[in-house]
Copies of this chain bind each other. A is one copy, B any other.
């Protein structure tokens, strides 16, 4: 029984998510649809969050992601695979981090005329294109039979840290719902006794939130393997008055 995860920006009041799930279950009754969220927002964040969860699922899982601000333009509809997982969604950069993590992954442009729907609406591709494509994967249909290989899938710009002998200059790439700051600096690059500097404040590297006194900040290697900064018991984003893009420096 194939698993299809579903992540969208459809919200919880319009039933768009339901229409997508209904189409999948109609075309692939045995598929197990697991709705991750209907509350995604930006393309960049979606790319990061998908990277967080995709490989936790069993191999063979199909990840359907519909954050699609340019639905109905000429943007292409994608399917892809890294050999272990399948991906379905718009070609707008949401799969960037998958492509970076898996340079050998293969990507295909869906040909809507080869999908089972009789009519493809111009504004609801989640229901009319992406759901059928995910069901095809679940039914073991190969992407070659309803899409054609491409080599120029859209990527969003992912900020890279600048690494020198004594210093790494990175930035905040995400703030999670707890206010924790996620930074584009790998835990492996930090050496023995790094000093983390955010807005002039020097932080030592701890293991978890409680390594700081309550209300105080701490840096640590987070669950993605990246440097993070949090407060013990409060929101770090409010404390530091920072946002995505704020620079973070590490002296090694």
Contacts and interface: CB of A to CB of B under 8 A. Distances in A.
A56 B56 CA distance: 30
Nearest to A58: B26
A171 interface: no
A69 interface: yes
Interface residues of A, number: 63
27 contacts: A11-B176, A11-B177, A12-B39, A13-B37, A13-B40, A13-B49, A13-B176, A14-B52, A15-B49, A15-B53, A17-B36, A17-B37, A18-B49, A19-B52, A19-B56, A19-B223, A21-B34, A21-B36, A26-B57, A56-B127, A71-B209, A73-B209, A73-B210, A121-B222, A123-B222, A123-B228, A128-B223
A3 interface: yes
B34 A15 contact: no
A233 interface: yes
A247 interface: no
A208 interface: yes
Pairs of residues from A and B, 6 with the lowest C-beta to C-beta distance, nearest first: A72-B208, A22-B56, A11-B177, A124-B223, A12-B39, A18-B53
Contacts of A53: 15, 18-19, 22
A56 B23 contact: yes
Nearest to A34: B21
A177 B14 contact: yes
Contacts of A122: 207-208, 220
A197 B38 CA distance: 32
Contacts of A246: none
Nearest to A121: B223
Contacts of A189: none
A106 interface: no
